[in-house]
Amino acid sequence: MPSLSTQVTWIVVGYAALVAVLAVVTAVRHHERPSWLDQMVWMLELLLVVRALIGLGAFSGDGPDSMSTYVGYLVSSVCVLPIAMQSIREDRAVWSSVVVAVVAVAVGVIAVRLEMTA
Partner 1 sequence: MSEVSRSGPHKALLAFYALFTLAAGARALVQLVTQYDEAPVAYWLSLAAAVTYALGWYAIREASAGNTGFASVMLWIELAGVLTVGTLSLVRSEWFPDASVWSGYGIGYGFVPLALPVAGLLWLRREKRR
Q: Which residues bind partner 1 (CB under 8 A)?
A: 66, 68-69, 72, 76, 80, 83-84, 87-88, 90-91, 93-96, 98-99, 102-103, 106
Helical segments of the chain, H only: 4-28, 35-55, 67-87, 94-117
Q: Which is nearer to partner 1, 3 or 87 (CB)?
A: 87
Query: Is 4 or 93 the residue whose CB approaches partner 1 more closely?
Result: 93
CB of residue 99 vs partner 1: minimum separation in angstroms? Answer: 5
CB of 9 to partner 1, least distance (A): 19
3 state DSSP class of 90: coil
Query: Cβ closer to partner 1: 11 or 105?
Result: 105
Q: Is 91 helix (H, G, I), strand (E, B) or coil?
A: coil
Contact indicator for 117, 76 with CB cutoff of 8 Å: no
CB of 24 to partner 1, least distance (A): 11
Closer to partner 1 by Cβ: residue 78 or 94: 94
* Rounded least distance, CB 62 to partner 1, Å: 16
Q: Cα–Cα distances in Å, from 65 out to 68, 70, 71, 110?
A: 9, 8, 11, 17
CA 51 to chain centroid? 10
